[in-house]
């Protein structure tokens, strides 16, 4: 091997540099005479600018700064899949019957159980982690998922679902619902009051602190996937969503069918007309002087304790809904939040009869 500094032939260039050119390290010689690329020694993974390790003149620098970044590179992942396909007939070695059999045999020899899993040690290790370790772990998981493409994520979900169906005969979604039903007695964990309350507090806290960040991320994601910042900007999707929401509310009884809306509006108009006559008799001028629209500070509004909508659905005459005993004064904030009747139908009828007497 020829030395580029003194033009002498030597068996070992590293040894030659050590004794004859002490001012030159192997790394300096490699950079000046073998590979003059200024970006040499930088991790190959996109977005990573970490320096990589220098080994020796014959090898040069590592391609990646660490094993985890090597695993994230698409070229490396594709090469691993190709190798596994050649050796085991599947993209991951763990899917190979040969590897699974070897793993079961080793566990059987060491622990006496071919399906051994030291859950107690895992739980103990996880529970004894301090907050800094948890935070680093969360950050690592977050970055790992952020670096995956949508195709990779879809592939992971599909593989997990297939494995679940193979092992349990049911999809992940159905198995999860059954597990929640068995453990908590509800079909959705959000139906548990404590969980719903904690979830609400978390969402409000995140929305309060990171509102602009969440909105910006949502707009960027929608723009990347669909070409618009909000799904309601698409007229076709907008009509589909509104129709579906209307159908759901109608099915749940919180909205009227389209064919009854006109009839309900006429009913409501007659109730309002009768109500205006009765409020003058029930409330003083001073009380009514504070009436106002929503959003006006200190404004109050006349409310029907048994709602007009419930009256329409139960075929109650307009004069009963508009009777003085069914009227009350509420702040506009309370009236705006109200979604159901404050009294039962029986209470309404009794109060109307007493008023009539």
Give pTM, 2 decimals.
0.40
Question: Are 296 and 339 contained in the same domain?
Answer: yes
Number of domains in the chain: 5
With respect to residue 258, please indicate whether it lies within any of the assigned structural domains.
no
CB burial class (10 A; 0-12, 13-18, 19+) of residue 312?
Answer: buried
- Residue 326's pLDDT is 92
Note the pLDDT of residue 303: 92
Query: From residue 223, how far is each of 17, 152, 154, 228, 235 by CA, in Å?
Result: 57, 20, 20, 5, 16
Same domain, yes or no: 20 and 98: no
pLDDT digits (tens, 9 = 90+) for 88-104: 888 777 777 888 888 88
- CA nearest neighbour of 278 among 329, 307, 319, 334: 319
* Cβ–Cβ under 8 Å, residues 92 and 84: yes
Residue 26 lies in a domain: yes
247/282 same-domain check: no
User: What pLDDT score was predicted for residue 321?
Assistant: 92
Q: Which two tokens stand for residue 243?
A: 């129709």
Report the largest interatomic distance among the alpha carbons of the chain, rounded to a whole angstrom.
124
Do residues 175 and 211 share a domain? Answer: no
Quickly state the pLDDT bin for 271 (edges 50, 70, 90): very high
**Are 278 and 336 members of one domain?**
yes
In a domain, 132, yes or no: no
User: What is the per-residue pLDDT for 320?
Assistant: 92
* Residue 79 placed within a domain: no
What's residue 217's pLDDT?
A: 86
The residues pairing with 9 across neighbouring beta strands, listed in sequence order, are: 2
- Give CA–CA dist 91/88, Å, rounded: 8
- Whether the per-residue pLDDT at 126 is higher than 90: the answer is no
Q: What is the pLDDT of residues 281-297, one digit of tens each?
A: 888 888 888 888 888 88
Q: Which H or E run includes 331?
A: strand 327-331
Do 271 and 336 reside in the same domain of the chain?
yes
pLDDT in tens, 178-223: 888 888 888 778 878 888 888 888 888 877 778 888 888 888 888 8
Alpha carbon distance 357, 353 (integer Å) = 6
| Residue 267, pLDDT score | 92
The verdict on 210 and 271 lying in the same domain is no
Per residue in 132-176, pLDDT (tens digit) is 888 888 888 888 888 888 888 888 888 888 888 888 888 887 888
Residues 104 and 56 in one domain: no
> Which domain, by its residues, includes 317?
263-356
Domain shared by 63 and 20, yes or no: yes
Q: Examine the domain organization and report whether 320 and 240 are in the same domain.
A: no
More confident residue, 307 or 47: 307
Instruction: Kindly report the average pLDDT of the chain as a whole number.
Output: 85
CA distance 304 to 312: 13
pLDDT-derived band at 66, boundaries 50, 70, 90: confident
Same domain (yes/no): 317, 270: yes
Give every CB contact of residue 113 below 8 A, 6+ residues apart in sequence.
107
Instruction: Answer whether residue 270 shows pLDDT above 90.
Output: yes
Helix 172-184 / helix 150-168 crossing angle, nearest 10 deg: 60
For the CA atoms of the chain, what is the radius of gyration? 36
In a domain, 293, yes or no: yes
Residue 242 has pLDDT above 80, yes or no: yes
Percent of the chain with pLDDT over 90: 11
pLDDT digits over 1-49, tens only? 788 888 888 888 888 888 888 888 888 888 888 888 888 888 888 888 8
Q: Residue 356 has which token pair?
A: 């009539």
Residue 96 lies in a domain: yes
Q: Are residues 271 and 342 in the same domain?
A: yes
Q: Each residue of 172-184: pLDDT tens digit?
A: 878 888 888 888 8
């Amino acid at each position: 091997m020829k030395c580029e500094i003194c033009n002498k032939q030597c068996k070992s260039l590293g040894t030659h540099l050590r004794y004859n050119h002490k001012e030159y390290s192997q790394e300096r010689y490699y950079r000046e005479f073998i590979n003059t690329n200024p970006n040499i020694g930088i991790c190959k993974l996109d977005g990573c600018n970490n320096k990589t390790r220098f080994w020796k003149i014959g090898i040069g620098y590592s391609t990646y700064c660490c094993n985890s970044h090597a695993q994230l590179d698409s070229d490396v992942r594709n090469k691993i899949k190709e190798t596994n396909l050649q050796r085991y007939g599947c993209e991951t070695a763990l899917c190979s019957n040969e590897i699974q059999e070897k793993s079961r045999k080793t566990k059987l020899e060491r622990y006496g159980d071919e399906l051994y899993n030291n859950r107690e040690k895992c739980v103990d290790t996880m529970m004894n982690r301090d907050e800094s370790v948890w935070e680093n772990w969360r950050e690592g998981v977050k970055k790992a998922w952020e670096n995956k493409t949508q195709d990779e994520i879809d592939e992971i979900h599909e593989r997990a679902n297939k494995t679940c169906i193979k092992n349990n005969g049911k999809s992940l979604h159905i198995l999860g619902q059954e597990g929640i039903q068995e453990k908590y007695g509800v079909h959705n964990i959000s139906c548990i009051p404590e969980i719903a309350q904690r979830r609400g507090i978390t969402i409000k806290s995140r929305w309060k602190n990171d509102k602009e960040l969440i909105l910006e991320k949502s707009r960027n994601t929608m723009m990347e996937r669909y070409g618009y910042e909000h799904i309601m900007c698409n007229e076709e999707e907008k009509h589909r969503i509104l129709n579906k929401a209307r159908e759901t509310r109608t099915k749940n009884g919180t909205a009227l069918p389209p064919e009854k809306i006109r009839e309900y509006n006429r009913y409501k108009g007659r109730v309002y007309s009768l109500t205006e006559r009765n409020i003058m008799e029930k409330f003083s001028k001073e009380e009514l002087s504070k009436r106002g629209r929503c959003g006006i500070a200190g404004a109050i509004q006349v409310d029907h304790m048994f709602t007009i909508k419930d009256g329409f659905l139960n075929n109650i005459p307009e004069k009963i809904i508009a009777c003085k005993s069914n009227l009350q004064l509420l702040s506009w904030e309370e009236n705006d939040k109200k979604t159901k009747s404050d009294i039962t139908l029986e209470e309404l009828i009794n109060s109307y009869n007493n008023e009539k007497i």
